[in-house]
Structures are given as C-alpha cells and as structure tokens.
Amino acid sequence: MVKLSVIVPFFNVQTYAPDTIRSLRANAREDFEFLLVDDCSTDGTPEILERAARELPGAVLLRHQQNGGLATARNTGLDAARGQYIAFLDGDDWLAPGYYERLLAATEELGCDFVRTDHVQCTGSSRTVHRVPYGRRGEVLNPRDVILPADRSTPVDYAYAWAGMYHRRLMDRGLLHFTHGLRTAEDRPWIWRLHREAGSFAALSQLGVFYRRGVASSLTQIGDVRQLDFIRAFDQVIEETSKDDDAALLLPKAVRTYCAIISHHLGSVERFEPAVARKLRTLSAAALKRMPQDLLSDAIDSMDAPRAARLRRLRRRPVSATAEVAA
C-alpha cells in the first residue's frame, strides 16, 4: 500500500532539479511514491528525470506531450497518485531530510483532512521563515472558521500547495484538482475551495520545505501574458464563493484580496511588456466592474492611500462591453 504520493512538476529547471531529486531521495520510504511530471521541458531536465526514474526509490516518471502549466501538471500527478496522503513540491524547490516522514506522522496523529505548514523562503543566500498566518498550532479546526477576517492575512492568503499534506478523501470529493490551464495563481481557487468545503484542518510549525525565489524561469519573475491568469483565478474565487451559504460573510474577504492583487500588479507594471501592461489595465478595470460594487467600495476604502488611489483611478477607466475576460 502506498502511504504518501508526492507530486513534483518540472519544466526547464535543469539547474535546480538535481537538488530537488537529492532531497526526495533523503525523504524516500518504501511506501512513498514520487510522481515526477515533465511538463514538456526543452532543456536538460528530461535526462535528469530519466536518471531519477531509474535511481530514486518510488519514482514514477510522467511526461506531457505539450506544455500545460503547473496546474495541469499537478493534475496529471493527482490522476496517477495511489497514496493515502498527497503532497506537492515544485521542481526547483527542495526538502530537509526526513521531512515527509515527520509531517506524515503529525498529520496521521491529528486525523484531519489537511494540514498547512511553515516554510523557508530562499532568495540567493538569504533564508527567511514564512509562517502559516494563524496562531493556533497542532489543533484540529474547521477550515471555514479561519477564512476571515477580511482585512488581515489568513490561511487562504497562504496559498502554497506544497506547504502541507492532504488526505486522499479530499481528492475523492473532487477538492484537490486544480483549474486546468491556469498558468499563475493556480493555488488561489484551490485553497479557497479547500477552506470552504473540507471538514477539518490544522496548522503545524513544521519546517522542511525550502522555496526558491528569484528563479529566472519562474512566472513570478516573468512579465508576460501568462501572469494575467490571476484574473481568471480570482474570478473563479468570486464566482464560487458567491454561491456559498455564507457568501455574505466570505465575499468581502474575496473581493478585498482580489483588489489587493490587482493593485500589486499595477504597482509594478513596469516589469510587464508594454502590450501586456495595457491588457493588465483593461482586464483589471473590467474585473472591478464585475465585482459587487458595494463590496468593492468597502474594500477600496479599507486600503492604504496609495493602493486605494490606484484602484479608484482604475475604477473610473472606461471599459467596453466586450472587454476580454480571459488573459
């Protein structure tokens, strides 16, 4: 029986993949499987993964015939996963030795649907601990109860799929798959759905995931049109949350977060290609028009002056009735 399935997408990360593979080897156990998903890499990554498939205990190599993006690659892994528990890792990140065994033991002891964990962010030689934004640790809670408040960072803002472990029953309920084709912000609808619909979760002070920032090939560093998928992702958050029985309570949080992300991108618009920057403004203005206007006004009023001014200017921007929704 496979106890844990670890899903690891790779795309053009030949510089970092060896570190990732070594860290998986230091986490191997006879009842663990590692689903290595090659998302149609064009560098030396496929050769590294072929060697890993021969040498890494529990490795299963899955290949895409065309690049699908992180969400689609994770779904490929989920469709092949046999484990009672699921974990994710990105192909340019790495783990502390024995981390999964310790995290699995803590998760099984709690018996909840999923756990979220702290992580170490690595930028060059700098190391910074980032914590799940919730103070109570090792206590099983209703995940709906920690979505709010709207004006503070909460676990739904800590959207990293790899910062946790998830029981297979969530996949059986259709809660673990990602929105096909999302190139960025794929974790956002996913984490909101988990917190709205799962039955139990806990936050743990486990450290062992090392998240590499500043990777040149990462979409967080590239100002091309794929970055605009955050609009499709947050439109999905708004749409699904609006159908929830507690929509009146939860939507202010969703709207405010959406506004904060739009303002963030507009505040660094110079990193986008000119045509993409124009499209960012057009699509963001259209997104503001789609939001519940009373909640939008409240969200803007609650923000600091620079962000509020940026959003008010955008809100006044004319938008054609046929403005594109998809980036």
Residue 62, SS3 per DSSP: strand
Q: Are strands 201-204 and 114-117 parallel, antiparallel or unpaired?
A: parallel
Token code pair at residue 106: 């803590």
Half-sphere exposure of 136 toward its Cβ, with a 13 Å CA cutoff?
A: 9
> Using an 8 Å Cβ cutoff, are 261 and 156 in contact?
no
| Rounded percentage of the chain residues whose pLDDT exceeds 70 | 95
Residue 231 has pLDDT above 80, yes or no: yes
| pLDDT tens-digit map of 65-89 | 999 999 999 999 999 999 999 999 9
Reported pTM: 0.93
CATH number assigned to the domain covering 4-220: 3.90.550.10
Residues across the chain: 327
Alpha-carbon dihedral of residues 313, 314, 319, 324, nearest 10 degrees? 170
Q: CB burial class (10 A; 0-12, 13-18, 19+) of residue 243?
A: exposed
- Domain extents in the chain: 4-220, 223-316
| pLDDT tens-digit map of 106-149 | 999 999 999 999 999 999 999 999 999 999 999 999 999 999 99
Q: What Å distances lie between residue 27 and 59, 104, 208, 223, CA to CA?
A: 12, 11, 11, 35
Sign of the CA dihedral running 246, 251, 252, 254: positive
